[in-house]
Amino acid sequence: MIIYGTNGSHRRTQALPGLACPACATPDALHLSVFSRYTHIYWVPLFPYSKPVAGQCGHCQRVWEEKELPGELKPLATALKKETSAPWWQWVGLALLALGIGWALIANNQDEKDNAAYLAAPQVGDVYTVRSQDSVGAAQYSLLKVVSARGNTVELVTNEYVTNDVHPLSRLNDPEKYSRVPFSLTYLDLQVMLNKGELTDVDRLGQ
């Protein structure tokens, strides 16, 4: 369950000298306060979305929400909002999200480079993740393991199990789950499988 909500924090309060309270007529008792409202996920601030303003009389304690502010206070409230920014920490969640996306893009790019390098120079023990479809069109994944690489030909054994896990290495990479009968593919065959999305990952165990 995702815990999502909103919260707010006080940003600043400014006195309004020279103005009388519209409710009790006390002079120099009015002030405006600006707040910053923000969204959060699991109580981590994500981003600010509004800056409400409230007015209050320090004498009679009358409070006006932003939409209720007397006419002479509205332009002052608008100017105060423009001068007030949200605190940096209310952007923490969005910043973490951006960093996470950036890290994922870098990791994915490195993984693609590793896959290309491993396919260009296969080694015994390399494990290929392959994707196929079941009878209803759902994706399923299995493994191929390199048992020999000579010239332009790679000999592999097929894992006899499938899973819907896109990263099946930890689940399926058991010696007992592989066939004992190898078959051959060329480097070109492997590259075609990669380009068609039938070969989705290459793992060189121990690296």
- pLDDT for 115-167, tens place per residue? 889 998 999 999 999 999 887 889 999 999 999 998 889 999 999 999 999 99
Q: What is the pLDDT of residue 136?
A: 84
Instruction: Say which residues have a Cβ less than 8 Å from residue 153's Cβ, sequence separation at least 6.
Output: 184, 185, 186
**Residue-wise pLDDT tens digits, 22-64:** 999 999 999 999 999 999 998 899 999 999 999 999 999 999 9
Q: Give the pLDDT mean for 75-99.
A: 95
Q: Dihedral sign, CA of 128, 133, 139, 141?
A: negative
**Residue-wise pLDDT tens digits, 174-186:** 999 999 999 999 9
Q: Is the pLDDT of residue 3 over 70?
A: yes
Instruction: Say which residues have a Cβ less than 8 Å from residue 38's Cβ, sequence separation at least 6.
Output: 6, 7, 8, 9, 45, 46, 47, 48, 49, 86, 90
Q: What is the pLDDT of residue 1?
A: 63
Task: Give start and end residues of each alpha helix (H) in the chain.
Answer: 74-83, 92-120, 169-172, 187-195
| Domain locations in the chain as residue ranges | 4-94, 121-203
How many helices and strands in the chain, by DSSP H and E? 4, 10
Q: What is the pLDDT of residue 125?
A: 94
* Spatial CA neighbour of 50 closest among 35, 63, 40: 35
Distance, in Å, from the CA atom of 17 to the CA atom of 70, rounded to the nearest integer, reads: 16
Q: What is the pLDDT of residue 2?
A: 66
Cα–Cα distances in angstroms (integers) from residue 121 to residues 12, 132, 152, 188, in the given order: 64, 24, 10, 12
Per-residue b or e along 110-149, where b marks 16 or more CB atoms closer than 10 Å to that residue's CB? eeeeebeebbeebeeebbbbbbeeeeeeeebbbbbbbeeb
Give the distance between the most distant pair of CA atoms in the chain.
96
